[in-house]
C-alpha cells in the first residue's frame, strides 16, 4: 500500500495568523501548485480530503485528473485551535507559549483540542483505511500529515515536529511486508 500525503496550498491569510480548522480560501496561484502535484502523484485508487475548502479545491482538481470523486473525512482536519483561530500569533504570544510548552501533547488551546486528541482521530482514520487499496492519496494539513508519518513510521509523537510539510507539497509512505518506509518527503 502507498499513502501519498498532500498538503493544501497556501491560504489567503497572512502567515502569522493561526489557522487550524477555520475555513479559508486558497491564495491566488493555487492552480499551478495543483498542476505540479498532479505530475508528482501516481494515479491513486482512492482520494480522501479534509473538509476544509483549501483542501477540497485541490482534491477536486486531482479528482478530475484521475477520474475519482474525493471522499471527505473530518478526521484528517487540522488541529482545532479554538479561540486562537484567526488571531495573529503575536497577539496570542505568551498565552500560547505557557499553555503549549507546559505539555504540548495534552494541553489544548482554549476551546480547542490537544495534539493527543488530534492523534486519536488520525489513528482511527488510519485503522479504518486498512489495506483495501493499493494507492491512496490524502489531501490534508501539516498536523494530520505529521501524525500519519509518526504512526506509520512508529516514531514518538514529538518527532512529528521535525518533518517539514510545505504548502502544496507531497510526501509518500509505502508499506511492504508489514513495514512502512518513507519514500518521498516534501516534494
Map residue 180 onto helix, strand or coil. Answer: strand
Instruction: Quote the cell numbers at residue 12.
Output: 489567503
User: CATH number of the domain that 90 lies in?
Assistant: 3.40.50.1240
Q: Radius of gyration of the chain from Cα atoms?
A: 16
What's the CA gap between 4 and 129, in Å, rounded? Answer: 13
Q: How many independent structural domains does the chain possess?
A: 1
| pLDDT tens figures, 77-92 | 999 999 999 999 898 8
pTM of the predicted structure, to 2 decimals = 0.94
Task: Identify the pLDDT of residue 153.
Answer: 97
What's the CA gap between 184 and 49, in Å, rounded? Answer: 19
What parts of the chain have a pLDDT lower than 50? none
The 3-class SS string of 103-170 reads CCCCCCCCCCCCHHHHHHHHHHHHHHHCCCCCEEEEEECHHHHHHHHHHHCCCCHHHHHHCCCCCCCE
Task: Count how many Cα atoms sit within 13 Å of the Cα of residue 78 in the half-sphere of its side chain.
Answer: 19
What's the CA gap between 42 and 40, in Å, rounded? Answer: 7
Task: Identify the pLDDT of residue 97.
Answer: 73
Task: Identify the pLDDT of residue 75.
Answer: 98
Domain of residue 38: give its range: 2-184
Amino acid at each position: 500500500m502507498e499513502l501519498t500525503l498532500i498538503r493544501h496550498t497556501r491560504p489567503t491569510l497572512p502567515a502569522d495568523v493561526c489557522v487550524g480548522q477555520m475555513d479559508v480560501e486558497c491564495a491566488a496561484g493555487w492552480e499551478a501548485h495543483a498542476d505540479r502535484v498532479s505530475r508528482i502523484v501516481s494515479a491513486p485508487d482512492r482520494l480522501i480530503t479534509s473538509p476544509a475548502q483549501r483542501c477540497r479545491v485541490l482534491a477536486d482538481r486531482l479528482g478530475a485528473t484521475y477520474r475519482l470523486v474525493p471522499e471527505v473525512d473530518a478526521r484528517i482536519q487540522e488541529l482545532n485551535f479554538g479561540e486562537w483561530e484567526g488571531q495573529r500569533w503575536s497577539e496570542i504570544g505568551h498565552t500560547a507559549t505557557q499553555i503549549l510548552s507546559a505539555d504540548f501533547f495534552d494541553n489544548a488551546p482554549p476551546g480547542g483540542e490537544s495534539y493527543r486528541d488530534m492523534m486519536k482521530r488520525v489513528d482511527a482514520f488510519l485503522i479504518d483505511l486498512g489495506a483495501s487499496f493499493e494507492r491512496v492519496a490524502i489531501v490534508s494539513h501539516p498536523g494530520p500529515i505529521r501524525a500519519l508519518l509518526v504512526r506509520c513510521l512508529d516514531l514518538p509523537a514529538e518527532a512529528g515536529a521535525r518533518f517539514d510539510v510545505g504548502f502544496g507539497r507531497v510526501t509518500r509512505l509505502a508499506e511492504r511486508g508489514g513495514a512502512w518506509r518513507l519514500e518521498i518527503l516534501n516534494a
